[in-house]
Amino acid sequence: MASRTPLTVATAAMETPPVALVRRARAVNRALAEVYPDAHCELDYETPFQLLVATVLSAQCTDVRVNQVTPGLFAAFPDAPAMAGADRDRLEALIKPTGFYRAKAESLLGLSRDLVEHYGGEVPGKLKDLVTLRGVGRKTANVVLGNAFGVPGITVDTHMGRLARRLGLTVNEDPVVVERELMALIERREWTLWSHRVIFHGRRRCKARKPECGACEIAPMCASAPGAKVKPAS
């Protein structure tokens, strides 16, 4: 028998998640919607291409820093054809403040050339196409789809993974597995907003080193809160 890929395993494992877990996940989402009614993508962009580039730059970097860099970057290279022909040294100099600038420059040049060669210079609006671009994985693709194209998707970044485990919605570390598990818990129409709300909460309250459990608005629904009474996922 052929071995299952992680994606297949995750999908099969969460076909029928426990009803109590589904209810709690959706209750958390509703509570976060009240706490963060203005939750949104915090990267500045005007086009799908700009959002794609900004999301690549946001790896291991704050959105604030990316937003400081992208105005100059997009003034120099506003679209895929322009960036595909960019001078590498100039590109690296422009994005250097975001960190890992050599690897990021390689990704930006690669994805821009892929867009020009295969998609007429336009960002495709389907996951299966986005993930063929060099330097673009499911996380980046879901950010672009959800915010630039209105296609629901769950973005599993470091905040999402950390909070999903702390809340007891998953025990997994693999982002693809976590994504599929959360897709089975949250209504599809809510996937993108769920992502924004959780990321907002991770940045503002449930921080990596010092989560503010005593002031947390969703502590009663969290499996990691002091005195927790909810049952985590197994």
Separation CA 78–CA 37 (nearest Å): 32
String of DSSP letters for 110-178? HHHHHHHHHHTTS--SSHHHHTTSTT--HHHHHHHHHHHS--------HHHHHHHHHHTS-----HHHH
Confidence at residue 229, expressed as pLDDT on a 0 to 100 scale? 82
DSSP class of residue 189 equals G
Mark whether 139 is an active-site residue. Answer: yes
Structure confidence by residue, pLDDT tens digits, 54-113: 999 999 999 999 999 999 999 999 999 999 999 999 999 999 999 999 999 999 999 999
Structure confidence by residue, pLDDT tens digits, 110-136: 999 999 999 999 999 999 999 999 999
Of the candidates 114, 157, 207, 231, the residue annotated as catalytic is: 157
Of the candidates 63, 139, 174, 210, the residue annotated as catalytic is: 139
What residue spans define the domains of the chain?
Answer: 6-39+154-221, 48-122
Q: Name the CATH superfamily housing domain 48-122.
A: Hypothetical protein; domain 2 (1.10.340.30)
Mark whether 129 is an active-site residue. Answer: no
The 3-state DSSP class for residue 81 equals helix
Q: Which two tokens stand for residue 28?
A: 């958390």
Confidence at residue 106, expressed as pLDDT on a 0 to 100 scale? 98
Structure confidence by residue, pLDDT tens digits, 14-23: 467 999 999 9
H or E stretch at 11: helix 6-13
Contact 230, 217 (CB under 8 A): no
Separation CA 22–CA 19 (nearest Å): 5
Identical topology for domains 6-39+154-221 and 48-122: no
Q: What is the mean pLDDT of the chain?
A: 93
Question: In one letter, which amino acid is 44?
Answer: D
Assigned architecture for domain 6-39+154-221 = Orthogonal Bundle (1.10)
Verdict on whether the full-model pTM lies above 0.95: no
Confidence at residue 133, expressed as pLDDT on a 0 to 100 scale? 98
Confidence at residue 173, expressed as pLDDT on a 0 to 100 scale? 95
